[in-house]
Amino acid sequence: MLAILRDLLRYNVEFRIGVALVGFVVVLSALSAVSPYPPQDVYVVPPDVPPSLSYWLGTTSRGQDVFWQLTFAIRNTLLFGCTVALISRMLALMIGLLSGYKGGWIDRALMSVNDTFIVIPLLPILVLFYFVMRDSMSWLMLALIMACLGWAYDARLIRSVAMSLKTREFTQSSVFSGMSTREILVQEHLPYVMPIVFSTTMNNMIWSIGLEVTLAVLGFTDINTPTIGGMIYWANQHTAMVAGVWWWIAFPTAAVIMTFIGLFLLAVSMNEYIDPRSRLGRIGGVAT
């Protein structure tokens, strides 16, 4: 693992930049642990102060330090994105691999469910959930709902890879070596599926964070837990742009853009590395 990271750092510019960006954002979110102000508190500092030495990123109209708010916001947003990505990847993998390998009625049944989830319009459903659940809609709840909505596209991708792997002769060799279905899927097929899983993870994170920001800006989430979207929501509520408090919107936006670009670069560079064809090229085999 370390050797892989070392190789990537040494040879791949995109990876270096991606690591730098994401690393910066992660450090920022880790700083939330040492914040002098609890995140929910308001009017703890003078409001509307522009960026200066005492308040690095300025303060909000609600009397909060933008810098420390940002650490909490980016932490929550990242956690949110990771949770959604993790759960939905697991779902997509399980369903995609099983469906592709087994075929037959299992495949048909799972894909019918899959297609149903694909056609569901996301934003109206999420808004609906919010209105039904109101106060009990914590960010964890939202993460679970979005994970359940976000696995469908990628399950189909994984399924098509699984289907092509099934026809390759080494799958039959594994069967005749006495391996069970689960073992074949995990040990033989997973390495081929990993590049897709990885790039779709980054995609998924970007998608879920984007959607969360959208919902928060519109006010459809728990706006008391600070998130990037939440900060922008409050900024809009206090008409920050008109009032000239540009730093309240600018810095959260910059942070989330940095996160997106960093994640994208990581995905692209890691993908090239773990793609079986380039792996074979490295260990000396011929990638046909």
48 versus 188: smaller Cβ distance to another protein: 188
At residue 61, φ and ψ (nearest 5 deg) are -70, -15
The two structure tokens encoding residue 165? 């792997």
Among 174, 225, 253, 271, binds another protein (CB under 8 A): 174
Is residue 170 involved in binding another protein (CB under 8 A)? Answer: yes
Angle at 218 between CA 213 and CA 222, to 5 degrees: 70
Candidates 6-14, 37-45, 96-104, 148-156: pick the segment binding another protein (CB under 8 A): 6-14
Angle at 211 between CA 206 and CA 213, to 5 degrees: 95
User: What is the Rg, in whole angstroms, of the alpha carbon atoms belonging to the chain?
Assistant: 22
The residue count of the chain comes to: 288
Total binding residues for another protein by CB under 8 A? 32
The two structure tokens encoding residue 234? 């409050």
- Write down the least CB distance from residue 278 to another protein, Å: 6
Is residue 131 involved in binding another protein (CB under 8 A)? Answer: no
Q: How far apart are CA 8 and CA 62, in angstroms?
A: 44
Q: How far apart are CA 245 and CA 254, in angstroms?
A: 15
- Write down the least CB distance from residue 262 to another protein, Å: 21
Please, what's the b/e burial string for 142-154 (b: 16 or more CB within 10 A of its CB; e: otherwise)? Answer: bbebbbebbbbbb
- Write down the least CB distance from residue 94 to another protein, Å: 20
Among 13, 33, 105, 176, binds another protein (CB under 8 A): 176
Among positions 268-287, residues that touch another protein (CB under 8 A) are 273, 276, 278-286
Beta-bridge partners for 65: 59
198 versus 273: smaller Cβ distance to another protein: 273
SS3 59: strand
Is residue 180 involved in binding another protein (CB under 8 A)? Answer: yes
176 versus 224: smaller Cβ distance to another protein: 176
Among 113, 160, 168, 182, binds another protein (CB under 8 A): 168
Contacting positions for another protein (CB under 8 A): 7-8, 10-12, 168-170, 172-180, 187-188, 191-192, 273, 276, 278-286
